[in-house]
Chains A and B, each alone.
Chain A
Amino acid sequence: MGSDAVWIIGSNMTKFGKHPDKDVVDLAAEASRNALKDAGVSLADVGVLGVGNLMNAGAGIGQQLQKQIGQTGIPVFNVSNACATGATALRVAVMAVKAGETDVGMAVGVEKLAGAGLLGQRGPKPESDTWEPSGRHGALSSTEGRIGTSIMPGVFAQVGMEYGHKYGGASFELFARISEKNHAHSTLNPLAAYQKRFTLDEIMNDVMIAYPNTRPMCSGNCDGAAAMIVVSDEKMKSMPSEVQKRAVKISASVLTSDPWVDGCQILPDVNTLTRNAATQAYEQAGIGPEDLDLVELHDCFATAELVHYDNLMLCEEGGAVDFFESGAPWRDGRRPVNVSGGLQSKGHPIAATGIANIHEIVMHLRGEAGDRQIEGAKVGLAHVIGLGSACGVHILEKVA
Chain B
Amino acid sequence: MSENQKSDQKAKTGKIPFVDYLVLDEDPYLQANECESCGARYFDRRNACASCFDDNFRQVPIATEGEVTSFSIVQMGPIPYVSAVVNCDGTSVKCTLMNVEATPESVQLGMNVKLMTYSMGEDSEGTEAIAFGFEPVSS
Contact = CB atoms under 8 A, between A and B. Distances in A.
Given A151-B74, A151-B76, A165-B70, A267 B123 contact: no
B57 interface: no
Contact of B18 (A139, A165, A209, A267): A139
B96 A146 contact: yes
Interface residues of B, number: 43
Interface of B: 1, 6, 16, 18-21, 40, 42-45, 50-51, 69-77, 81, 83-85, 92-96, 104, 109-110, 120, 123-125, 127, 129, 131-132
B20 A138 contact: yes
A199 to B, nearest CB: 20
A172 interface: yes
B74 A162 contact: no
A351 to B, nearest CB: 24
A137 B20 contact: yes
B138 to A, nearest CB: 22
Contact of B124 (A130, A141, A155): A130
B91 to A, nearest CB: 8
Interface in A134-150: 135-141, 143, 145-149
Given A131-B129, A158-B85, A136 B45 contact: yes
A164 interface: yes
B16 A140 contact: yes
B96 to A, nearest CB: 5
Interface stretch (A179-187, A257-265, A364-372, A382-390): A257-265
B65 to A, nearest CB: 17
B87 to A, nearest CB: 8
A147 B71 CA distance: 12
A294 interface: no
A137 B132 CA distance: 14
Contacts of A148: 83-85, 94-96
A139 B96 CA distance: 15
28 contacts: A130-B124, A130-B127, A131-B127, A133-B6, A133-B16, A135-B44, A137-B21, A139-B18, A139-B19, A141-B18, A145-B74, A145-B77, A146-B96, A147-B19, A147-B96, A148-B85, A148-B94, A148-B96, A149-B72, A154-B83, A155-B72, A157-B72, A158-B71, A158-B85, A213-B72, A265-B44, A266-B93, A267-B94
Contact of A145 (B1, B42, B81): B81
Contacts of A141: 18
A267 B40 CA distance: 15
Contacts of A213: 72
A158 B109 CA distance: 11
Interface of A: 118, 129-131, 133, 135-141, 143, 145-149, 151, 153-155, 157-159, 161-162, 164-165, 172, 207-213, 260, 262-263, 265-267
Given A131-B123, A133-B6, A138-B20, A210 B85 contact: no
B74 A149 contact: yes
A158 B104 contact: no
A262 B76 contact: no
B73 A210 contact: yes
B83 A136 contact: no
A137 B109 contact: no
A130 B126 CA distance: 9
B127 A210 contact: no
Given A148-B96, A262-B92, A266-B92, A161 B21 contact: no
Contacts of B76: 118, 151, 153, 209-210
Given A147-B94, A262-B40, A266-B85, A129 B72 contact: no
Contacts of A145: 74, 77, 81, 96
B69 to A, nearest CB: 5
Nearest to A145: B81
Contacts of B45: 136-138
Given A118-B76, A161-B70, A172-B104, A137 B123 contact: no
Given A148-B96, A267-B92, A133 B70 contact: no
Nearest to B20: A138
Nearest to B18: A140
Contact of B75 (A143, A161, A165, A208): A208
Contact of B43 (A130, A164, A265): A265
A152 to B, nearest CB: 10
A3 to B, nearest CB: 38
Given A165-B110, A210-B72, A265-B43, A129 B124 contact: yes
A139 B109 CA distance: 28
A136 B94 CA distance: 15
Nearest to A258: B50
B63 to A, nearest CB: 14
A137 B19 contact: yes
Given A129-B124, A154-B74, A158-B70, 9 more contacts: A138-B45, A139-B19, A140-B18, A145-B77, A146-B18, A148-B84, A148-B96, A158-B72, A260-B40
